[in-house]
Amino acid sequence: MTGRLEGRVAVVTGAGDGIGREVARRFAEEGARVLVAEINEESGQATAEQIGGRFVRVDVNDREQVEAMVATAVDSWGSIDILVNNAWGRGNVGRVEAKTDEMLDNGFAMGFYGPFWAMRAAFPHMKDRGWGRVVNMVSLNGVNAHMGTLEYNAAKEALRTLTRTAAREWAPTGVVVNAIAPGAKSAAFRRVMGEHPELERTADRANPMGRVGDAYADIAPVALFLASEDCRYVTGNTLFADGGGHINGVSWQPDLD
């Protein structure tokens, strides 16, 4: 490891498990002080201990908690230099006509408002220092309008619009904003595939590289680039870290009946 984040303060939401945990781990290995922001106390504490970071319990659906999360980083370490909006909980699978206002509200709170509140609270601190990195986790589901997950798709595409709008507005300030559309065998993936090994093989075969990615080896290095000094002239992009899965799209036809 090369200390690429030495002296930086990073907040990673949903860092108790899956991609968030591996990103937090990699950032810590590169010298960052990492705030593990997670709704699940047990996994959040465990990750923080493992990587030598600090844990804060946060539900990203709650504005006050998100603002307190940013304040915790600033109060603890004097700044927030890197923000990774990664948290997402379980959603509903069903047809458009079966979606309720509540499902949509939950999706937008978690997938759009949470990142927006965090970015709004973090920006003044980043601007003051003339340096900031925001990394938003989005999804091929939204880009390709996968069936069954309207609130997820819509919130993630709104988050990409937020990414590009903030990137444009903040470009003169030294704060860059990018998104990753990942493909990785995270906790969420294993939850779905765990009971169905044949689905895991199908998912691996459907990927152009013949495998769904690894959160630490395949996704965390992309987040590291976007969070590092190397990303100084790159803003407003979506990087597909998915073994090429986005090129022809991925067949996704859930049984919605």
Ligand X SMILES: NC(=O)c1ccc[n+]([C@@H]2O[C@H](COP(=O)([O-])OP(=O)(O)OC[C@H]3O[C@@H](n4cnc5c(N)ncnc54)[C@H](O)[C@@H]3O)[C@@H](O)[C@H]2O)c1
Rounded distance between C-alpha atoms, residue 23 and residue 176, angstroms: 18
Rounded distance between C-alpha atoms, residue 163 and residue 44, angstroms: 26
Q: Which residue's C-beta sits nearest to ligand X?
A: 18
CA distances to 30, 68, 177, 224, 248 from 3, rounded to whole Å, are 4, 28, 22, 11, 37
Least distance between ligand X and beta carbon 99 (Å): 18
Nearer to ligand X, 29 or 38 (CB): 38
Active-site entry in 113, 152, 216, 233: 152
Nearer to ligand X, 190 or 232 (CB): 190
Q: Is 152 one of the annotated active-site residues of the chain?
A: yes
Measured over the CA atoms of residue 130, residue 136, residue 140 and residue 142, the dihedral's sign is negative
Least distance between ligand X and beta carbon 6 (Å): 26
Least distance between ligand X and beta carbon 175 (Å): 21
Least distance between ligand X and beta carbon 187 (Å): 3
CB 230, CB 155: distance < 8 Å: no
The residues that touch ligand X, with contacts defined as CB under 6 A, are: 13-14, 16-20, 38-40, 43, 58-61, 86-89, 110, 137, 139, 182-184, 186-189
Beta strands per DSSP E along 89-163:
132-137
Nearer to ligand X, 60 or 166 (CB): 60
Nearer to ligand X, 144 or 173 (CB): 144
Active site members: 152
